[in-house]
Structures are given as C-alpha cells and as structure tokens.
Amino acid sequence: MSADSTSTDQLQTQNLQLLDKIDELRAIGVGGLVELPQIVVYGSQLSDKSSVLERISNVTLSTIRDPCDRLVTEIVSRRASHERVRLCIRPGDSRINGEGQRGLRHFTSDEIDISSTPFSFSRKLKELLERASSCMGLSTLALQVNDDVLRVEVSGPQQPDLTLIDLSGLSLFSNTVQNNEEKELIDSILEGYLKSSRSFVLAVLSGKNDCHDQSILKIIKRFDPNQERHLRIAAPPCPTDLGLGKQDPYLQFIKIEDVKSESAWHVLPNGSAEKHHTPDNKLEVQEKEPFDHGKWASLSPDQVGIETLIVRLSSILLCLMRRNLPDLIDDIQNKIWDNELELEKMGAPRATVQEQRQYLIDISSQFGRITNQALNGSYVHEFFGGFREGTTRTGEFEFQRLRAVIQEMNESFEEAMTIRGARRIIQLTGATVDVDSEMKRPNPYMHGWTPVYITQGDMEQEIKDMMHRRGVIEETGRANQLVVGSLFRDQCEPWEMIARAHVLNTWGAVECFVQLVLKHLTNDHTRSSLTESVLRSGLDKMKVCLLEKLGELCLHYKSSHPVPAGRSFLSRIQSSRTKRQVSASNKSTKSNTLPQKSNEQLRAAEIIDHMQAYYKTAIDTFVDNVIILAVENCLLRKLEDIFTGKTVIAMEDHEIEKVAAEPPKTRYKRDRLEDEVSRLHEAMQSLKVFDRDDSMTRAFRDLGKNRNSPSELHKAKSKRGSKSIEVKD
C-alpha cells in the first residue's frame, strides 16, 4: 500500500470518526446547549423533498411522514455490511419532566432488515413508528406538534456517511396549525435550526409551480443574507417532458438567479419515489441522461444527479465540522464553566435542616468578609470587580464600593449645608454672592432649592421690630442672647431637612449594597427569603436608629439657647464686625457721608454678628456629628453585625427551612444544570481525541485566528486560546 493511500485512508477514518462524534453529541442532547455543525433540509410546500431524502438514504421514508411531520426528523446514514434501520428519540427542551426525558432517551427500537420484502419492511417500520409516536404522546387523530426529534439510523453497504436534519415536514405542518402556542413553538424550532451559523441549509425548491414563485427563498435569505451557507436543490420537470421554449425559465432561474455562484445550485429530475429506486448504478445514468442534451447540457455534471449531490453534501458536512471544531470545543468548555458557576452559586444540595443551616452559615461568612472590605475601602474580593470595572460602572453597581459611595455622599452633604444650610443669605452693603453658580453643581441635596436674600439693613430693622414687639430689655454692652437664639433657630431651620435626606440616602445605599452582596452569593429565591425573614428587620432597626440619632442632634439647635464658647467663637465675632465695618466704610467713601446709626441699629448689628459667629461654629459641629454619630455609628458600624453566623445559629428550624430550603423550581434547575454538565463533560470526552495537539487539529487551528474568551473568568481558567477556522470546498 502506498503512502498516499495510507494517508487517504487515515483521513477518511478521521472524517468518519468526527462525523460519528458530532452525532453522538446530538444524540445525548448537546445540540440543545451549544450549536452543532449540521445540514438541515428545508422544502417548499410543493417540492419533492421526500423523494430527495429517499434517494439520498436509499430507504422509502414516506411511511414515517405522518404523524412525524409534526416533529424534526434526523436521518443518520452510515456505510456498513448489513442493511438495517433503527429508530431513536431525542427529547425536546420543552419537556421539563426529568423522568419523561429519560424515558424517551431510553427508547430504542429493534433493527429492521432493509433487504426484506417491501411489504414486510413497511409494516415493521410502521409498527415501530407507532410505538415511538405513542412514547412521544403524538396522536394520529389530533393535530399536535412536538419539539422531540425522531432519529432514523440507516446502515448498509451502499449508504453514504451522512447526517441530515429534516425540517420540511414540520415547516409544512405549521401551515395547518391553528393554535397560537403550537405555531410559536414550530417557528421557534425552525428558527433555531435555520439561524444557527453552524447550520448548512439544503433548500429543496418545487418544480411544479412557477420557478420564480418560491416563498422558501425569502425565508432562506432572511437567515442567510450573505448566501454562503445553503445549497438550492431544483427539481424541475424532466427535461424531456418540457418543450424547448419551456426549458428557458428553469435554466435562467438556476444560472442567473441572485446567488453568488452557479455552484449554489444542484438539479435533480422530478418524479415519484418508486421511479428513483432503480437498483444498482442505472439510476445515476437515468437521471443524468436527459440533462446531456439541449440547453440543459450547459449545466456542469457536478450539479446534476443524486450521486454528485451526495458527494457534495458529504464534503460540505465534513468541511462544516472541521471549520467549527475548535470553536465548538471552546463553546462546550465555556458552557461547562457557566453551569458550574451557577451550581456553585446555588451551593450544595439542601435536603435537611442541618444542610440548610450550614448553607446560611457559609453565606453569612462570605457576607461578613465582603462587608468588611467594603467598609474599609479594600476592594479585594471578586464581588467588587477589577480596577477598570470599578471605575467605569454606573447604576446599581456603583454601590458595590460602599465606602467610596458614602464618602461621596458625605461630601455632597457638607457642601449642601455650607451653601443652603442658612434659611436666608444676609448680604452686606456692596457685597455680592454668586449662589446661582453653586446651585448648578451636581449635588443631590441642592435640587429644588431657591435662596432667600436679605440685606444687612433689612435684617437690622427686622431685629429692632422684634425687640420692640417683645419688649426686650437690652443689656448694656452685650448682645441679647434670647434674640440671638431666636434668630439662630430661624436661620438653621433647613439643617434637619438636609440631614434627614442625607441619612436616608446613606441607608438606601447600604440597603442596595446588601442586596448586591446577596445577589452575588445566592439565587433570587434565597436572597428574597433571607431579606424578608432576617435582614429586613436589621435594616429597619438601623433606619430607626439613624432617625432617632438625628432627632437627638437636632433637638438642641431647635429649642435650646446658644452656648457660645472658645476662642473660635470670639474670633468669628470679631471677623463679622470687621466685615460689617469695612462694608459701611466703603459705602460712606462712595457717598462722601459719614454713617449715622442709632444705638438700636448698633445693637441689632451686634446681635447679627453673634448669631453668625455661633452659626458658623455650630454648623461644623452638626455636620461632623451627623457623619460620625449617625452615619458611622448607627449605620455602618452595625452593618457587619446584621448577618453573622450567630444570627443563623439563633434561628429556629422552621425559619431555616423557610429561608434555605430549595423550592421545586430550584431543585429542577439544579437537576437540569447537573444533567447538562454531565452531558457536556461526556461531549468533551468524546471530542478529546480532536482536542489534542495532533496533526489534524493543528491544521485546523493554523487556519484560524485568535479570538477573546467569553469572559474574564474563562480567560483565568484556561490559557488555551479559541480559534476560528475557514476551510473551503
């Protein structure tokens, strides 16, 4: 045997092995998890697609058209020494019952000998089909649709090594369905196959109507706009049955229609299934002979006849599988990681109270670790994301970095207190205050606020009038503290409103942070139950504590007299006097007149000086107290204790079950994920031979180009880069 012959045999063996492995993945349901390379058959209503499939498979399949027109049929053809047919079922994704899925997967029919008499073969095939239909719940009396897949395995010495997915029956059945739900299911199934970038569509067109009136072309173009992954099968009437003039429309349609090349077409003579089951090699001769004469002879021999079609389909399928193999392996691995992450997030199965309690203790431990890092500003845990994520994220994810969020809120609160803390802005003569520019700052506490201005003179007059109304007796040489206190309390009226908004905002930030942590650590059911049963009361207590502390801090400034003390107070009084005197002096210089003020005006001005000095001293203290005594002590300091191991240990058994027991939906999800992981691992094991660094895989990857992994996590878990490969016919 020559070296070339040996290499060819090895390549054919590898090709068949790859084809079988892909079929194995499809058989165990991996096709519903990742897109598999496949050839799908899709036909128009009057096309002779049954005949096409029968000629490819060498088996009369018309027996299985009803009721299996209501589902997808997978035809697996393999060359073997014995002629056999066997049926299997692959359950659809809509079956949520695990037992039902397993029952369908275990259905395998007896083998039928194709070489038996046609009557015997047809009868046995019909009996097997009835068993399969009953197993799938398909009634012959009622119109029903199903997303299960009927797998027809055909083997024999003359069989091609080919796998086809037949959608044509289901597409026709959709025209008779009246139920909207069933119609949506059919459309979903068809779209899933047709839009997949790894599907190659064998479009069978009718020759029984106007060759230009093909609605199927519109559907194919919608899913394959670049017209790169489908082959059109034209089945015009036999050329000898057409007049010379009638041949032109078909030829023109095939040769000039808007496809990228004539190779996108293949022509088969139309006719009955019986006609095309001529034995031995006479069929190919009979099919090609009419196309050897007249205008039909202009077609390439490679575009005519069933044998050349089988060769083309085999080549297309193998190229499709080779081209997509590296990406397919990566997709399967990525899907395994995604499912394992979901399972890890769900935690261990929780059937007993002890397992449920341990589950909550584990969550509380991680909750405490993340919270501690958030409060200290050391964002190391994966919950906080990387540096780039932390600096670019917006929306709810801002609240992950809690210390930074609280610090920003504190700064906005301090700024708002400085600008709008006073009820009225006192303007000295000749002085200007650009408050309008301050209002334009992006500060949440400045929205909807309009400053109230009053001049120094008007303020002094207001104080004089108040003293007269109240009959206040002036103390010689001193500002009356009763009047100072009254004026101060009026001036600091906005403090409580601004501070209340601030403490509630910080509490809201903490609540959002808690929800984000739980969302990271648990599933939605546990997060919701844990919040309502355990954390809600703690968060509400923190809110009450905050508001009580705020009320305590505001009480003195709302009802008590000012208690000025310290050098800072005296220096602020002196500063206020100096500013007032300089303003009055500037005014007198401009008007060339000496300021004349009565003793009452001087006493009123002194009261304003005392009030402003005390205001500036008190507002700094108030801001610090709100931030430290309220936000830090009553909120942030208590956050770490809101959910700990002690909290879980103190919970009653019925509380533990309510929070941590898995609902049926979660148990089903866990079973589904575990089943998918099992099937995906089986798929990876199946493809392991192609994933090693052998000559074939290297050739595939050398034709490709690097692409990024789907997520940073996947990059971290695997340094093996993904490839995209282009293999041309």
How much is the pLDDT for 589? 58
How much is the pLDDT for 645? 94
CA 103 vs. chain centroid, Å, equals 32
Which of these, 140, 53, 54, 136, lies nearest to 87 by C-alpha position?
136
State the burial class of residue 107 (Cβ atoms within 10 Å of its Cβ: 0-12, 13-18, 19+): middle
Q: Is the pTM of this model over 0.85?
A: no
Neighbouring residues of 391: CB distance < 8 A, sequence distance ≥ 6:
none
How much is the pLDDT for 157? 87
Question: Any alpha helices (H) in 58-198, and if so which ranges?
Answer: 98-105, 118-136, 168-173, 180-194
Both ends of the chain: CA-CA distance in Å? 27
> What separation in angstroms does the CA of 465 have from each of 469, 588, 601, 613, 719?
6, 25, 11, 22, 83
How much is the pLDDT for 368? 95
Positions of the chain with pLDDT lower than 50, given as ranges: 141, 210, 212-213, 243-244, 258, 262, 272-280, 388-395, 476-477, 693-729
Tokens representing residue 570 in the block: 């005296």
- Contact assessment for residue 379 and residue 390, using Cβ atoms and an 8 Å cutoff: yes
Between CA 161 and CA 314 the distance in angstroms is 7
- Contact assessment for residue 253 and residue 212, using Cβ atoms and an 8 Å cutoff: yes
Which of these, 143, 126, 122, lies nearest to 59 by C-alpha position?
122
> What separation in angstroms does the CA of 17 have from each of 195, 318, 506?
27, 11, 63
